[in-house]
Amino acid sequence: MLSNLKHSEKTGIWKPLLVVILLFLVAAAFKIIFIASQGILPKQGEGIINGAFTLFTTLGILFFARWIIVDTPLSFLRRFTITPLLKTLTSLALYFIAAIYLLHRLAGVDLTPLLTTSAVITGLIALSLQETLKNLFTGIWINTERVVAKGDWVNIAGKEGRVMDVTWRTTRLLTFSNDYIYLPNKLLSEGHVDNYTYPSPLHIVEIDIGASYKDPPNKVKDVLLHVACESPYVFKEPKPEVYLITFGDFSIQYKLRVWINDYGIILKARSDLHYSIWYALKRNNIEIPFPTRTVYQYQMEAKGAAVDSIGVYLRKINFLKPLKDEDIGRVSATARLEIYGENEIIFRQGEKGNTCYFIKEGAVDVVLRDERGRDSVVSTLGPGNFFGEMSLLTGEERRATVVAKKDSSLIVIDSKGFGDVFKNSPDLMEKLSDIVATRSLELEETRRKAVTETERFETQKAESKAILDRIRSFFKIKG
């Protein structure tokens, strides 16, 4: 359909030229008749034929000039696109010139009194319609200079929104609150105009964050950059940047600067970054401090109690059941609790890893990417499930991508805790390898079925489309 539309647009561009050729042919025919009839027809007849020649020649020149000035740039010279307002004004000017010329040549009208009278009338109109004319000429300036155009995100006289239309008198905006605002065009020439779309749609979003003095600046910077790179709204090039702004009374102030390519998503981009920053700082034990003038108290959880609490959950993991209580204690000592927000990526397929995750609360999706680069969710895991045990014990690359389906609390088990355990109990490695191998085969079977199902669905879609195309071809129905 898109190709048909483009074809019709190209065809429509040449239609006015066909009219021009037809007018010139008619004019040429009258000229031939005029030459051939000289001395045969009376003077009045020759005058009518000559007048017809002048009429059709003038119309041909008029339509050709309009095609060259108005229509052709609109289609071929994209840099010099003529807006509807300027197109109308140019056409009216050409029609006016042609009408004046024909009145003079065919009717013998003396243009001097007419132009003098029209100048006086124009002066009176200009005095009485100063504001309207100011808006009109500003509208022309807007269109010729490309200050704003339909679809641009702008800020005019403190009013922010998307340009829906530019007429000879007003510019119409649609705000973020879904309200329409009609602004007189004179505001664009008299005031300050911010255009967030032209000449480039790239726009910087800045977010200020405060972190405590105990957190190393480079650590904070790395966390913020990681959050920015994971956001679906942020451009990877130009790269996000983090600046240390100042040392405040109770925190170090940082500024995260990222690029987006559509000002219309700025609220979504800010919100997504704020959500992700909170979870990322929480996971990395980076504190967002309270003001020093606020007195707050909280009960610190004892380290031993935290280890015991984690140990309770670790005993629920199947492949850790062969571990003794003292071994569970060693593993718990290096484990930690991490919180992930909805749609946050916990790890990606192909990444190196040495940790395993136990789902305390929430749910995660296991996403597998096949050889064609297609992603499919092969399973959803809830509380009590675990994942990543192969990387924990072997350090191999992640076999799938895991994404938080909703806010989730995960217990992260680090491989550091297993070093002493395996040294003290070498036979434990064989037991764990048997359990992990069984689970690995089960997961591989699940992945294989998911991939097979996806391939079957894709094949069915392709076959359905092929049959649909044959039906349309048989009945000669365009898609």
Full-model pTM: 0.57
> What digits encode the pLDDT tens for the residues 92-102?
777 888 787 77
Residues 448, 341, single domain; the answer is yes
User: What 3-state DSSP class applies to 298?
Assistant: coil
Q: How many CB atoms lie within 10 A of CB 94?
A: 17
* pLDDT-wise least confident of 56-70, 147-161, 376-390: 56-70
Total domain count, the chain: 4
Nearest-angstrom CA–CA distance, 17 and 34: 26
Domain-embedded: residue 53: yes
CATH of the domain at 253: 3.30.70.100
Question: Does one domain contain both 319 and 447?
Answer: yes
Query: Of 195, 227, 242, at which residue does a domain stop?
Result: 195
Q: Which two tokens stand for residue 266?
A: 């700025």
For 77-126, write each residue's pLDDT tens digit: 444 445 565 667 677 777 888 787 777 777 766 666 655 655 555 655 55
pLDDT tens digits, one per residue of 235-250: 988 999 999 999 988 8
DSSP code string of 461-475: HHHHHHHHHHHHHHT
Residue 433 lies in a domain: yes
Task: Report the range of poorest mean pLDDT among 21-25, 249-253, 360-364.
Answer: 21-25
Distance CA 402, CA 358 (A): 13
Q: Which structural domain, as residue segments, surrounds residue 358?
A: 303-454
pLDDT score, position 140: 60
Q: Rounded to the nearest 10 degrees, what angle do helices 84-106 and 111-128 cross at?
A: 150
Q: What is the pLDDT of residues 251-304, one digit of tens each?
A: 999 999 999 999 999 999 999 999 999 999 999 999 998 875 545 555 545 444
Same-domain status, 253 and 142: no
Collapsing DSSP states into helix, strand and coil, what is residue 285? coil
- In this prediction, residue 348 carries a pLDDT of 92
Cα separation, 143 vs 125, whole angstroms: 24
The pLDDT value recorded for residue 85 is 59
Angle at 52 between CA 51 and CA 57, to 5 degrees: 100
On the 0-12 / 13-18 / 19+ scale of CB atoms within 10 A, 251 is: buried
Tokens of 52: 């017809």
| pLDDT given for residue 84 in this prediction | 61
Residue 28 located in a structural domain:
yes
**Quick one: 252 and 374 in the same domain?**
no
The CATH number for 164's domain is: 2.30.30.60
Position 399 in a domain: yes
Share of the chain above pLDDT 70, in %: 73
Mean per-residue pLDDT over the chain, rounded: 78
- Contact residues for 282 (Cβ-Cβ < 8 A; gap 6+): 338, 339
Question: Would you say residue 411 lies in a domain?
Answer: yes
Q: Which residues of 183-202 are buried (b: 16+ CB within 10 A; e: fewer)?
A: bbbbbbbeeebebbbeeeee
Is the pLDDT confidence value at 461 over 80? no
Q: Which amino acid is residue 18, in one-letter code?
A: L
Verify that 190 and 275 share a domain, yes or no: no
* pLDDT value for 227: 94
